[in-house]
Amino acid sequence: MLADITLGQFYPADSFVHKMDPRVKIVLLIVFIVGIFLAKNLIAFIPAVLFVILAARMSRLPVRLLIRSLKPLRFILIFTFILNIFFLQGNLPEGQEPTPVLDWWIIHLTAEGILQALLYSLRLIVLVLGSSLLTLSTSPIALTDGLEMLMTPLKVIRFPAHEIAMMMSIALRFIPTLLEEADKIMKAQTARGADFESGNILKRAKAMIPLLVPLFVSAFRRAGDLAMAMEARCYHGGEGRTRLRVLKCTWRDLWGAAAAVLMVAGCVLISEFVHII
């Protein structure tokens, strides 16, 4: 299960998307998300899907990796799809009746409902793919640098942009270490007869204590050590800090931005003029 989490698992490659400015990529992701929420029907989704496919191709990421990022989502996807199928009737103009497909016992399926459920699932898939594209093609360092820069204007209202970025980058650094540690503690407790897998929810939650307490203790110990090490290396906040990596916008970012704007425009226009459900 733990191996499924691709978030923060940067996949290095030499590609157009990898070389884009992380700030631009973050902004584009936000634009992209707005775009897919403005797409009101399946046809309007075509630009968004094209955009993801294009970005995926240009990122030179293995398709397998992208598909794997959807894996943890599979239950939610199936669940929402089924739920929507039963409860959605589609957005129909006034007075128009839904087209029944199946009417049996308490189950009433309509064509519009199915399309709507498809739309919701697709939205979720495209959303996750887009975010994964960002995290897979952007090193955690670039990502936090980008976020820090984007948040810098907020410093005016005393928003701790540097501190938050530093926290994020440290979190990213320690996630694999802590996952490994969790695995080890779990095994150690299993060797002492602990059972993490059977029993009802309450029992299982209780069974987590022997895993969580040592994990927290360890995380705090590591935090203490790390704070000491950072101090020894002259860390004293964002004041007067220089950077190894300086972010620069290039023509690539311009092209990326243009593509994203086109995509959003496409989504909105199609939603306006094409009504299929």
Judged by CB under 8 A, which stretch of 17-25, 100-108, 114-122, 168-176 contacts another protein? 168-176
Rg, the chain, Cα only: 23
As beta bridge partners, residue 102 has: 109
Q: Rounded to whole angstroms, how far apart are CA atoms 24 and 153?
A: 16
Q: Which amino acid is at 20?
A: M
Nearer to another protein, 102 or 206 (CB): 206
Q: How many CA atoms lie within 13 A of 48 on its CB side?
A: 33
Encoding tokens for residue 3?
A: 């191996």
SS3 content of the chain, % helix, strand, coil (to 5): 70, 5, 25
Identify which of 111, 121, 123 has the alpha carbon closest to the alpha carbon of residue 44. 123
Nearer to another protein, 136 or 267 (CB): 136
Judged by CB under 8 A, which stretch of 52-60, 69-77, 101-109, 185-193 contacts another protein? 185-193
CA distances from 109 to 75, 104, 112 (A): 21, 9, 9
| Interactions with another protein, residue window 82-141 (CB under 8 A) | 139-141
Identify which of 56, 29, 28, 40 has the alpha carbon closest to the alpha carbon of residue 120. 40
Nearer to another protein, 14 or 94 (CB): 14
Q: How far is the CB of 75 from another protein (least distance, A)?
A: 21
Of positions 124, 150, 194, 262, contacts another protein by CB under 8 A: 194
Of positions 20, 172, 267, 270, contacts another protein by CB under 8 A: 172
Residue 169 binds to another protein (criterion: CB under 8 A): yes
Q: Rounded to whole angstroms, how far apart are CA atoms 264 and 123?
A: 14
Residue 70 binds to another protein (criterion: CB under 8 A): no
Residue 190 binds to another protein (criterion: CB under 8 A): yes
Q: Rounded to whole angstroms, how far apart are CA atoms 89 and 114?
A: 8
Q: Mask 209-248, x = binds another protein (CB under 8 A)? A: xx--xx--xx--xx--xx-xxxxxxxxx---xxxxxxx--
Residue 19 binds to another protein (criterion: CB under 8 A): no
Applying CB under 8 A, what is the total number of residues that bind another protein? Answer: 50
Nearer to another protein, 173 or 204 (CB): 173
Residue 173 binds to another protein (criterion: CB under 8 A): yes
Q: Which amino acid is at 154?
A: L
Q: Rounded to whole angstroms, how far apart are CA atoms 271 and 18?
A: 31
Identify which of 4, 17, 14, 120 has the alpha carbon closest to the alpha carbon of residue 70. 4
Nearer to another protein, 92 or 182 (CB): 182
Q: In degrees to the nearest 10, what's the CA dihedral of 250, 255, 260, 261?
A: 100
Nearer to another protein, 131 or 218 (CB): 218
Q: Mask 138-167, x = binds another protein (CB under 8 A)? A: -xxx--------------------------
Residues engaged in binding another protein (CB under 8 A):
3, 10, 12, 139-141, 169-170, 172-173, 176-177, 181, 184-185, 187-195, 209-210, 213-214, 217-218, 221-222, 225-226, 228-236, 240-246
